[in-house]
Amino acid sequence: MEQVFFFYFAFVIAAASVLVVAVRNPIYSAVALLIMFFHVAGLYVTLHAEFLAAVQIIVYAGAILVLYLFVVMLLNLRQDDHYHRQWPMAAAVGLTLIIEAIILTAMKGWTTPVVVTGTETTVEGTGNTEAIGDVLYSTYLFPFEVASLILLVAMIGAIILAKKDPLEVNGEG
Amino acid sequence: MTVPLSYYLVLSGIVFLTGVVGVLLRRNIIIILLSVELMLNATNINFVAFSQYFHDVAGQVFVFFALTVAAAEVAVGLAIIIALYRAKSTINIDEFQLLKW
């Protein structure tokens, strides 16, 4: 049963990500990415990461993708987008990576399911959100604060970059 | 019937590869940013799969941070795209070769 769900999610994720790259119209690309985000969230649920599934939908599908669609529609693009001249190089890099992945997989073989190590930090019985919150606000408190700083810097940077004629404003001020 | 870890690795490998090819292949800057999102999601799938495999919640915390960085990247990236569009009224990557030797 778990495998059925996994193969469904995996197939849709792979197909949608190929569509993101292959489709000409940026809006269709963004919609394909939306489908992919929802299925990644589904995959997280099957992996017992319910909190991340919710965050994935709220942040990626709710905030990031809306921002993309907003910019795509703001810029009003023409439909003359062809593939890049360097597509032979892209094909070469892609093929090399595929071959490497196949060789590595063939060499190592398939892993055996679940080995339980002695260094567990999750307490069974408590919820996923509670476990994440426990670790996030104790062990990872400093990275958490740094993340908030990154968001602040990104917000200020985005506002300054998108403002009209930043050079002119600087020259006058 | 549990799913082996290798399946998740293969899936995230496929998605990551698609992202790499998209970055190299497309000329629309917005699509290039979308491909970067694909790659970030591929790594996130890996993190969550390993987190489940080792019964360690640290992997999920790391995905949380990757999500923060992705949000910041999108905000700054789209602001740069708008600034570029204002300067040249195109977002075709071939038009921006000022730093090319």
CB atoms inside a 10 Å sphere around CB B23: 20
For residue A21, the domain's CATH number is 1.20.120.1200
Number of domains in chain A: 2
User: What is the chain A residue with the closest CA to B24?
Assistant: A90
Domains belonging to chain B, first-starting first, are: 5-95 (1.10.287.3510)
- Digit-coded pLDDT (tens) for B22-48: 998 888 888 999 999 999 999 999 999
Which residue among A29, A55, A151 places its CB closest to the CB of B31? A29
Query: What are the pLDDT digits (tens) for A121-156?
Result: 544 555 778 888 888 899 899 999 999 999 999 999
Distances (CA, A) of A97 to A88, A124, B12, B31, B83: 14, 39, 13, 21, 34
- Assess if residue A105 is contained within a domain: no
Is A104 contained in some domain? no
**Residue B92 bridge partners (DSSP):** B28
On the CB side of B4, CA atoms within 13 Å amount to 7
ipTM value for the complex:
0.90
Does A58 reside within a domain?
yes
As to burial, measured by CB atoms within 10 angstroms (0-12 exposed, 13-18 middle, 19+ buried), residue B18 is buried
Q: Which domain holds residue A158?
A: 140-173
- The reply to whether A2 touches chain B by the CB within 8 Å rule is yes
Buried b (16+ CB within 10 A) or exposed e, B42-57: bbbbbbbbbbbbbbbb
CA distance B68 to chain A (A): 7
Nearest-Cα distance to chain B for A103, in Å, is 12
Decide if B85 contacts B22 (C-beta within 8 A).
Answer: no
Q: Which residues of chain A have pLDDT under 50?
A: 118, 122-123, 172-173
Nearest CA in chain A to B46: A44
Q: What is the dihedral of CA A22, B43, B68, A140, to 10 degrees?
A: 180
